[in-house]
Structure 1
């Protein structure tokens, strides 16, 4: 049984690796095709969203460092223009789960863009659990400034597309990408709403000074800088994100007067409860969180 219980990946004692993979056909070209084997549950039955009524494509975007940044795009057919949602991945990058999230957003009337933040070093998606230390090194190489630059590049590129509303941007992200949501919402005035799924809010108690420094800026220190409402969706049983850090973030939001942002905690939910290809998946909590995401984006991006 596979279980990813920490945003930055597990320690070797967290779970046993299953080599089973699920591949899907017909989508992609720049990206690994399938679900990240390092997180895939043995009995996984992932949600698969079809492309009927959608335009899906792999594109490359000019990043600020002149890197040709790959991204997966899903949007409704037609002229639009459609509000844009940036999708920040987990540590496994743009694999089938993230692409499916983009298609779900497109079915709801959004143009979804998932940048491949990690591929300057290597695509982590196809690597097995036995290579987890390598995956963590790849992810660790994606600095805050690089990631923010990639998000800026995705928004700039979208603003130049006739099918996109350049005045309506949202962001959502999962695990590692959940932390990115808080950071981006504090960085970019162009972002109108964010939904963070179980992203780390503060350094762990075991973090070394170097790890604390490398993870900055931490969301708990950014509450006063948020430029839009952020909804945090977290699990009570998340072994990597303790409720003490959730309460610290709630307190920071209260001190900053950010009554438009909040964190909802799901009873007994583990880390990764939205990830339908993992054994951590909790369908009811995932569906409830998704409905809350759609409600926030409807109110903030479609007006």
Structure 2
């Protein structure tokens, strides 16, 4: 495979973005990989490589660049300090910079930056996001509905809240097909919320599947986290690749 890091200029600074694609000339369909709350790091790149092996031109932007270049967090410190620990507070501050407005601007900037690469297909695009990136994936599927034909949201938190900007409102503008994989153990997720979200898909006439994976904990798809679940992680790779291929009318590629 071919991989590199590029520096994408935005109105707010410079955003490091990992790019990985198969060998060859392409063009390959573009897939945007939205990081989890732990930040831009090797594990995000590893997941991007896995998807690229399936035949995609993958881009993984550092969504925390407004808080610093390529920052990430020590999960062992967070585990010992709890959600009120200093490391968790630092992560929450960074996560607060990942607003709906910012992620739309950032995604547009990334797509513009790779548009001159002949290996990147100018056609329909897909995306996947983890944790806070799962919310981003849903929002991008709504805000860029004319470009995103399929999106996967992996171990998202609560997608229905009592706030005016509750993520479920994004469903109204989605045109593509969606896949959601909730963790069984997640402090912000209840079965009632999952069922209600599934009903919101139906009400908005959005094509999609909502799962809650038994035996999993929030973060299950990231191999560098203590809650990693290999079986569930493999499941999310398979389901996401199937989703993308189906909506891009591609032949299966062994990943």
Q: TM-score, normalised by structure 1?
A: 0.74
CA contact (8 A) 2:73 2:87 kept: no
2:34 aligned residue = 88
Mapped to 1, the partners of 2:223 and 2:49 lie a distance apart of 15
1:272 aligned residue = 219
CA contact (8 A) 1:219 1:249 kept: no
1:144 aligned residue = 100
Match of 1:301 among 226, 248, 255: 248
Pick closer, same or farther for the CA change 1:289–1:183 going to 2, 3 Å: same
Quote the offset at 1:275 in angstroms.
Answer: 1.5
CA contact (8 A) 2:4 2:20 kept: yes
Quote the offset at 1:219 in angstroms.
Answer: 2.4
Greater fraction of residues in helix = 2
CA contact (8 A) 1:233 1:289 kept: yes
**Correspondence 1:192-203 to 2 at 5 A:** 192-200=149-157, 201-203=159-161
CA contact (8 A) 1:80 1:163 kept: yes
Q: Which has the higher contact order (CA 8 A, sep 6+)?
A: 1
Quote the offset at 1:66 in angstroms.
Answer: 5.6
Quote the offset at 1:153 in angstroms.
Answer: 1.3
Greater fraction of residues in strand = 2
Measured on the aligned residues, the alpha-carbon RMSD in Å equals 1.7
Pick closer, same or farther for the CA change 1:143–1:302 going to 2, 3 Å: same
CA contact (8 A) 1:83 1:302 kept: no
Mapped to 2, the partners of 1:138 and 1:238 lie a distance apart of 21
Quote the offset at 1:302 in angstroms.
Answer: 4.8
* Alignment pair present for 1:244 and 2:192: yes
Match of 1:113 among 59, 73, 89: 59
CA contact (8 A) 1:118 1:142 kept: yes
Match of 2:18 among 60, 72, 75: 72
Q: Deviations over 1:123-155 (max 9, x none)?
A: 431555342211211211232111111111112
Mapped to 2, the partners of 1:73 and 1:115 lie a distance apart of 9
Mapped to 2, the partners of 1:186 and 1:116 lie a distance apart of 21
Pick closer, same or farther for the CA change 1:238–1:66 going to 2, 3 Å: closer
Q: Deviations over 1:196-245 (max 9, x none)?
A: 00223123x8xxxxxx46xx2x2222222112111001122222222222
Pick closer, same or farther for the CA change 1:109–1:180 going to 2, 3 Å: same
Partner SS, residue 68 of structure 1: strand
Q: Deviations over 1:161-219 (max 9, x none)?
A: 1001111311101001011111111110101110100223123x8xxxxxx46xx2x22
Q: How many residues are paired up?
A: 238
Mapped to 1, the partners of 2:186 and 2:67 lie a distance apart of 29
Q: TM-score, normalised by structure 2?
A: 0.87
CA contact (8 A) 1:88 1:177 kept: yes
Mapped to 1, the partners of 2:204 and 2:12 lie a distance apart of 37
